[in-house]
Each structure stands twice: as C-alpha cells, then as structure tokens.
Structure 1
Amino acid sequence: MKLFPYGHATHPQWRMAAGLVLAQLRAQMTLPDYAPEPRLALVYITDHYAQDAQAVLDHLRQALPEVTDWAGTVGVGIAVNNAEYFDEPALAVMLCNVAPAHYRVFSGVSPLPADWADAALVHADPATPDLAELITEMAGRTQQGYVFGGLTSSRTRSVQFAISADQPQTLAAGGVFEGGLSGVAFSSRVGLLSRVTQGCQPIAAEHEVTEADRHVVLKLDGQPALDVMLDALKISLSEPQKAIPVVRSTLVGLSPAGQSGVGRAGNLGNDVLVRHIVGLDPMRQGVAVAEHLAPGMRLTFCQRNVHAARADLVRVCAEIREELEPEMLSIEAINAFSDDPVPTLPQAGKRIAGAVYVSCTGRGGPHFGGPSAELQIIRHALGDVPLVGFFAAGEIARHHLYGYTGVLTVFTTD
C-alpha cells in the first residue's frame, strides 16, 4: 500500500479551492511513493461550501473519473496534516489506496450488510433520532465491533457524501445526503490503528453512582449527589453568583460499572464518556447530566484542560508510533539471546499510508495554544503523513459517542 495522495485549500470560491486541491492530487499521483490510481476518496468541506455540496462533489468526480467511490461530510472546521481550517471556506480530499474488494461505501439508501466489515468510518447527522443506539447498532455490524468518525457540525446544511459506482441507489441520489449515517466500511485486510484522546482533567476523586433516576444522579457513594458535587467544587448554593459559573464549566466523566475511569497518571481513560451537567435538583439533592445513568457506574467531575489535552494527544500518538515501529534489537543482541547460528531477524515495522483525525469543535484553535497547534502536535509525533479530517459535534469511537475528544485513525502498510 503506497501513500495516499491528498490535497487541501481555502478560497472564497469553491471552484478555486477545488482547482488547487486537484492540482496537488495529480502532482502526488505521479510520484513513486504515492498511489497512482486509487479508487476511494474521502472529502471534507467546511460549512461555507455546504450549500454547494452537490456541485462540489460533481466537479470532483468529473475531474477524477478514475476515483469511483466517495465519502465524507461537512464541519465548521476541517483538519489536514499540520494545519486546520476553522471558520473559513476550505476543502480537503484524500485518495485512499485500498483495494475495491476490501471496502464498501454505505448510507441510508445503501446500508452496510451485517458482519461484512471489520471496522467502519462513520459520519452522522447530530439531529438523527436515537443516534447513540444507531452507532451501537452500526458497531454491531462489524466483526470487531469498532467504528470511528464523528457527527457533522454545520451552521447551514448538515450534508454527508456517500456515492459508489457499484451502487445505483447512491448514484440516483446524487451522493449528497442529510440525516442518518453514512461512511466507509473496511475488511480485515485493511490495516487500521485507532486511538481516542481525551481533552478533560479530573478535578476530584472518582465516585460510584449508587442511586439514579434516568438522567439524574441522586447519590454518589451513598451520599446526596448535590452535596458531593458542591464539596468537590468548593462552592455553595448560598452564593449563586460564584457557584453558577463553576458548575457551567464542570463536566462529568462516566465509566461502566466496575471500571475505573481515571488512570494511574490521573488522566481520564479511553472509555470515559464526558457529558455536560444540564441541571440541579435541590429537592432530591440530585445532579442532572446529559446521559442515561445506572447504579454502579463510575462518575468523575472534570474540566477542560489544555495541558491535559496536549499531554494525552502526545500519548496516543506515541502509542501508535510504538505499535508501528517495534523496538529493533541489534545483530549482536540477537546472537547473544539465540542458540540459532543464523537467528531470524525481527520483522520490520509498518508505516502510515494515510490518517483520519476527527476532533471536537471545542478543541480546535486557541484551546491548544494557537491556530493549528493541535494538528502540529500530531505532525511532530507522526511525521509528514497524509491526513484529513474534520471538527465534529461529537466524536465516534468503538461503539460510543464521545465529547471533547479526538479520534485518530491511521491506515498502515508494510
């Protein structure tokens, strides 16, 4: 698998941006390290182009007739290698060098068959009813139970792209959709590594939910939940002018029953779901959160923290690099540990052919210290690799819907 050609550009007129992107793609496709004839494209646009989504897709397809399958969505910002385009008109395209037999574009008019795929890239409309259940169902249609992606973020149309030459339904629909889920599913023959990076820091000890009523936690560790929260935040309802801003800036991290959500280093674990506090219930001494609760769950009060977000992003990038590049022993060390006069050398590691990064809209720009700082961290850790993605209204990983996180997924090759 060769490197994935990719291009990106910003311009007030989408045709000019598309021309710049196409020039980059065509130039890379002539280079020996890049794939010359990929069939699958991922396309991400900012919402400045959302009203012209069909025209953008038609133009790209006509300019690249060898690319038969397209998937993507819109965001208030899009991500590329070493840069982000936030709140400005921009377009990014990556051509994935994956054999047609090992991927399938899906959408509402062409659903994904059960047990066909190993994993799937999913784009979803945040206004879709029962979205969390649909994501869980989609994960259940994959053999690994793993999906990755995010929710469309747009101030205009929440469009998705999904079109395949092998699927007449998508061709008839034009390839631009609103509502529901769409994306690309991949077979086990496609090498993928994916990690979730959290953007919040615990500010108090972890508690067990011992009593709850749907979205309201009533007791934590057997104590009234409101009292526990006020004590953890060091505030009092008798001073509402001081208490309200603190509560508004506080989130909760939720973990499954019997599973701690805080690591040894004091950071939130990968499986923690961060949710907003949406209200207080003084009559029942409860705290309402934006998630259905059940006794036994673990709850941690937390806040957004730039230093924790940077450190966790570096950590997940390092984990990917370590998995791709196992430590190599010297010939002398191999001989010292082996009785074989001609020992087998360790296999070479893998490299990144392309990457997709989906980050929360609340993480982009200044949250990491400046424009494009988040993507620059990834570039520093992973190197100069093809990367596209978008800033989402919610991030998808495994079978969960996350918030304030980043989901980094890389395509690997020998």
Structure 2
Amino acid sequence: MSPTEKPLSVRERLSEVRYEIRGELARRAHALEAEGRQLIKLNIGNPGAFGFRAPAHLQRAIIDDIDHTDPYTHQLGLPAAREALASAYRARNAPHVDSDRVFIGNGVSELIDMSLRALLNPGDEVLVPSPDYPLWSAATILNDGRPVYYRCAPENGFLPDPVEVEGLVSSRTRAIVLINPNNPTGAVYPRELLERLVAIAQRHSLLLLVDEIYDQVLYDGAAFEPLAPLAGDHPCITFSGLSKVHRACGWRVGWAILTGAHARTAEYRNAMDLLSGLRLCANVAGQYAIAAAVGGPDTISALCAPGGRLYETRRAVVEACAASEHLTLVEPKGALYAFPSVVGPAARGFDDHRFALELLETEDVLIVPGSSFNVPYRDHFRVTLLPQAEVMREVFGRIDRALARRAEAATKVVPLKAKTRNAAA
C-alpha cells in the first residue's frame, strides 16, 4: 500500500471505550429491521419512541418564543432559564447557587464531558460506580483520565459500600461520580449513605459529580435526597435535564449546577465558562421550556404511582422475574430500567452479549448486556421500563423461552467425569 493509500488512524484510547447501548447489537437490529423484521427495542431510555410526549406546557413555551430562537445566546445559557434553575435549586436548599454557576448544555451528555475536561489532567482518576452509565467511563477515558470502579453489588441492593469506596482513593483521585436514582439498576440512595460518601469527598478534597437526571422517577414511596444540600460548602456539580422526567430527549436540554463555597470553585467555574464558550452555546429553542419545566405542574408522579404507565410496566417486570425459574431481580426503586440476572441451569456458561444477540435473532427483542455497564460479571442485562405493561409481559415471555432453551441444553450436557467413568466401566 502506498503512503497516499494509507487508511486514516484513529485515537488509540477509543479502543478502551464501549457504548453497547448504541453499539454492535443496535447496528444488527437496524439491519434486521431493514429486512422487514418487527423488533421490540428495549436498549434505550427514549420516552418519545414509546409514545410519550413532552408536557403540553413545555411545548407551548417553545412555540410562544420561537421567534427569539435564531441568534446565539450566552454561552452558559439563556439568562432567564439559568435564573429559573438557580431559583429551583435554592428551593431544594442547594447552597451557593446563582445563575452564574448554572451551565446549560446539549443534554447532560455534553455537560458530563465538559465537566471532566475542565477537571482532569492525564492520568487523573475518577471513582465511578460499577455498574455505571457507560458515558461516565467513556468521558473519563477520552479526557485522559482513568475510571476506578467501586462496587455496587446486587447482594447489597446495588448500593455501594463507603468503606470500599474510600479504600480506592489514591493520590491521583479527583472526583467521585454518583448516579442517583441509578441507571441501570434503579437503586435509590438513602440519606445516610449519601452523607458518608460526601464525608469521603470532604476528607480527600474530591469533586462530587452527581447525575440526578431521574430525580423524580420514583416508585413505592422511595425517597430521593438531592446531594448538593448535603455537600454544603464542598464542591459539587448536579446534572439533570428535560430528557427523562419531562420526556423530551430529542430537545437536548440538560443543565449542570455548580455548588460549594465560591472561593473553592471559582477557578473550576471559569474553566467551565471557557469550555461553554468554545462550543458557542446550547440549543436555544429548547431552553425556553426550562422555566416552564421547573416551575410548572408535576407530570411525572402519576406515571410512577399505582395505575400509572411506568409503575404498571415495572410491576409487569417484577412479576415476570418472580415467576421465572431463570431470572432474579433487585426491584428498581427509581429511574426507567430494570437489571435482571440469569440464574439456575440457564446461567451455566452464560455470556450476556452472546445471549443478547441470540435473543435478537430468535425472539426479535433487543436488550443491553449487563457487562456493557462496566461490571465484572456477565449474567445481567438491562431493559427499559418504557413500553406498555402488556408489551413487557410479552417480552419476558420471549426471554423466558430463550432461557428455557439454554437451561434444557445445559442439563443435557454430560459432565466430563461421568463420561470418563462410563468409558472405564
């Protein structure tokens, strides 16, 4: 091959990045759909794809101001939208909040990347939950950091052990990531646990990065505790947006609220301001819905209460796993996902990625392998709770059918020792 024909090389660290939510399996699903297959796709928490709509008062807010959306706005976001967010978070008792420390982005994803880019030097470490939402790992790696995983074990309800977390802190650790309510597990962190994690951050001067995008998606009386009030003067960034609670993923509106004593956060705030300016500004039209979202009526709680669509779909998943001899589930207390594990004979030699591909090919169902969320085990998978309950019952019927085939095949395998004994006889 001549030098002029040499293919382009890519960044080496991309080989460390995984995002199976939209990866190989999703590409295979797209190919199957092109062949005319009708799939049930449970890989993405995308409310609009399942018939949800953003609340009417949010749509109206954008329509009413559409004539003002052509120019760039301030790099941090529309002043009125930032003030509405600052006011809403002050009402939650978040300390040291003013509009100059509110950053609006093209979804939370952009802001996660910016927050790590403003923080990390090559080789710095970030404590990340396992399982995590894999963007956190990817953004850490692509900003030349190293994710260090703290266990959120199934046997502990997917809650972390603060003693284990603190044992992972090194001289290179810069931040702790918390995802509450959790994606992919649905765990909701109790106040006492959050206080202990804040204390670790305080002892080691670590920035708290808190993903609270599902803060109002709660089931069965689960109580959400915002972290910023518990952190007080300690530096903390809270991430949220319109995508989940307000069912407006495609609008790409997220925000990050920087709290903590001004003297401790001023340099970091200026770094975030610089990075915000480099991308000019976030999507302007969607920002006009922010004040209506944080100051308007509650449109999510009814969906999460008994009889509500999300609640009933969650109930269908919980009941399906309880009735299955092949599945077990830590019941999700919040967020839009369930994270079942495979047990019994079906779990012998189980590989989550191989099973996800088999399920797609044979049962027309797309799930996400649990190992995609940076866990060391391969017996879990994630599904979104967004379909109707009857669809989810059908889905788990298909999953159980596929697992039954695996269990039957596993029990037919004659152990090697038994084969040897038979040959000797």
Point out the structure with the larger strand share.
1
Query: Which structure features the higher share of helix residues?
Result: 2
TM value normalised by structure 2? 0.22
